[in-house]
Structure 1
Amino acid sequence: MFQHDLFPPERRDEQAKRSASRPLLDLPAILERLTASCERPRYSFMVLNLIAQAGARSGSAGPHIREGDTIIPIRDWLCDALLPVAQRDPRRLALSQKVRCELEAERVLPADPELAQRLVDEKVGERLRRSGRTNVSRAVSELVRAGLVTRHYQGYRVDHRNRGAKRQAVYTVVPEARRALGSGN
């Protein structure tokens, strides 16, 4: 929006064309875009929000995030941040029971109930992180397709045919989405 009497007519027309060709991206528009292009729009929105928070200064998050004294890959950080969402999920409770039964069958479950629960929680956490990485990658791919995030990789052998060789993802929220989420300019 600008004051018409301050700009010559040709500049006004140019500004109007630019504004019309690029619709304003606000929070409802982001949600609408996610609903149209994502299988799980709420999950994708949570991932988008976490990426925007992690990359608050530059808009880019990754390849690693500092969590206290440790540095972890961005996908693992996103996965860990989203784990509480599934805390009461019946599948998670069933997985805990399944892991406990497997450990009992292998006879590696300690007799002490606290140690046993700690071991079960550790094994469940490993499985959840493995599946969570897949879910995060899928959500980020949907965000890339929706035009809200760009993704590139850093690390060893990025251009090698075995592209998984020690490369880590870097996610960047596009500026329009950052503005709509209130995460910067």
Structure 2
Amino acid sequence: MLETPLQSRPDNRSLDMPELLEVLAHSSARPRYAFMVLNLIAKAAGPNGSAGPLIRNEGEQVTVRDWLCDALSPMGHRDPRRLALVERVRDEMAGDGILPADPDEAARALDVEVRLRVRASGKTNVSRAVSDLVRAGLLFRHYQGYCVDHHNRGGQRQAVYTLSPAAWSLLQARV
């Protein structure tokens, strides 16, 4: 098994920001995105360095993955693919006859549907980034919740992310 840059350090508890960025550059195909995910997890983490399974957001409880997707979704608001998605959803809703006639209501309904679709696809991106962070030794992942007839992940269980001591000591001061 290959050693990550963090594991090859003699003292993996001390880490500065340039070293963290180097670890991400060697461990992730999308290091900037992985850094944003890591930073958001540090922001949501409790005193033990763990975030999840639920995060309080605007008065409601959402899963940590949904919260991460929602927090990262503004990053793509000008992306041509996002703009094309908005137009595609508008056309689908108009074609199905479910787009409200009132422009304000139509904008709200369109926003809700686009947000749901972006969240669904964003979960894949978040999972990939988290896997990169786990592989780099910066994050640990486990699952909590109720399990019904399920031998593996899932089964009504939700992810919990815990920062490694090296990442936590560096990022907790910045949050």
| TM-score normalised over the length of structure 1 | 0.83
Deviations 1:40-93 (A, max 9, x none): 110100000011111142100001011232111110111111111112212111
Specify every segment of 5 or more residues in structure 1 that has no aligned partner in the other structure, as ranges: 1-19
What SS does the corresponding residue of 1:72 show, helix, strand or coil? strand
- Residues 135-154 of structure 1: matches in 2 within 5 Å? 135-154=125-144
- Per-residue deviation, residues 79-138 of structure 1 (Å, max 9, x unmatched): 111111112212111110010111111122122111111111111011001011111111
Which segment drifts farther, 35-44 or 155-164?
155-164
SS at match of 1:98: helix
Q: 2:54 aligns with which of 44, 59, 64?
A: 64
Which one of 66, 75, 86 corresponds to residue 76 of structure 1?
66
Q: Match of 2:78, SS?
A: coil
Aligned-pair CA distance for 1:158: 8.1
What amino acid maps onto 1:91 in structure 2? R
Q: How far did 1:182 drift?
A: 3.7
Distance 1:73 1:110, change over 3 A: same
CA contact (8 A) 2:143 2:153 kept: no
Aligned to 2:110: 120
5+ long unaligned stretches in structure 2: 1-8
Distance 1:180 1:57 in 2: 14
Give the share of equivalent positions with the same residue, in percent: 58
Distance 1:33 1:40 in 2: 12
Aligned length: 165
If you compute each CA radius of gyration, which structure gives the higher value, 1 or 2? Answer: 1
Pick closer, same or farther for the CA change 1:158–1:28 going to 2, 3 Å: farther
Counterparts of 2:124 and 2:139 in 1: how far apart (Å)?
Answer: 17
Match of 1:39 in 2: 29
